[in-house]
Structure 1
């Protein structure tokens, strides 16, 4: 077998061949894993919806509203609102909201009843410090309905946000004059988490008609709901 001459042309040909093969392999692997990943994410979301909402009989994912914002001609998803019904009656909604924590973006799913009271929440994803900011998944009162705990905040529990209504008083950590204890040594994470909850509430209310509290089907509507983020040392 004749040995390829060591030249720039031959090296480029080999490099191109390797690149094409690598891209093809990556595309194949991505195709194989895409469906299982989507199924896993759907399962996580469905389990979270059961956790954060009062009992419902509809399919909240199928009846969801996506709220967009637009900047420089580019649209981005700000919130996804999952409507919950029992029969024909609205029982609440869950809002998927994002905020920047200490380590990066966190995604919170907050469940509200029809009065705007927080029923429960789930931390869908985060990159917070293990053992510190990562405690947000339970610190603020999240509970497991399978075990039968009630979604009601006790008056003596200054960490839990369950049973609170951000429409009456926006949630803040006590360091900022608010009513919620921050996670120990994780003030930034706590602020960011509560910012996401407050924004989720605003998105929930903006997705409802003022008269009668009926659901306003504005799927894909462009709406601005700002996240405030006052940051101090962790």
Structure 2
């Protein structure tokens, strides 16, 4: 068959159509397992940050233009705790997502790191059991902490949350996310209004250089 522009266009269209169909089929095959895995991970996080419970009811708030979901956990007719799926955009490697658990009285039960892309061996330690960030708030009511403008802050910013060694940016992001969780918990549990919860995380400006690996604590 003589090659023409029309023929070549038809062939390319056919190849593109087949490739698109293949990608679509793969997405259909993998979408459900991915969704199931994400649901399983979320349920596991809820169990790790809450006292024993029988059921949860969720409510999503918007804080600083970020969706924050509060899960009210119950056993029988009693509320046994609150879990807050929260996040911060201030991470060294991008978004940091946490699940923070509170007792009905506001004591932090536990924190589970859902997502982070921080520097290996530095910021990634926020996910380690018993890390300084978690140790600074677990088992405590956050209003009893040393607050800066009404918010939690790392020691370098005037608060009393111990930062990860050489990972201040990551630590600020963690605290920023916990502050949002705290505001959301108070809104659902006590009816308090949601306030601006931007933490002491340093904002990069157009003329300000980005911190380098290993230099997050400068």
TM-score, normalized by the shorter chain, greater than 0.5: yes
Equivalences for 1:30-179 in 2 at 5 Å? 30-58=27-55, 60=56, 63-68=57-62, 78-100=67-89, 101-138=91-128, 139-140=131-132, 159-168=135-144, 169=147, 170-179=151-160
- Report how far residue 9 of structure 1 moved: 2.1
TM-score when normalising by structure 2? 0.82
Q: When you count helix as a share of all residues, which structure comes out higher?
A: 2
- Structure 2: stretches of 5+ with no match in the other structure: 204-210
Q: Which runs of 4+ in 1 moved over 6 A?
A: none
The CA distance in 1 between the partners of 2:108 and 2:20, in whole Å, is 47
Please state whether the residue corresponding to 2:19 is helix, strand or coil.
helix
Match of 2:189 in 1: 208
- Report how far residue 38 of structure 1 moved: 0.8
- Structure 1: stretches of 5+ with no match in the other structure: 71-75, 143-158, 212-222
The CA distance in 2 between the partners of 1:171 and 1:77, in whole Å, is 19
Partners of 1:126 and 1:134 within 8 A in 2: yes
What's the Cα RMSD here?
Answer: 2.4
The CA distance in 2 between the partners of 1:105 and 1:167, in whole Å, is 25
Please state whether the residue corresponding to 1:181 is helix, strand or coil.
coil
Larger mean Cα displacement after TM superposition, 77-86 or 187-196? 77-86
Equivalences for 1:13-24 in 2 at 5 Å? 13-24=10-21
Partners of 1:166 and 1:198 within 8 A in 2: no
TM-score when normalising by structure 1? 0.77
The CA distance in 2 between the partners of 1:39 and 1:121, in whole Å, is 22
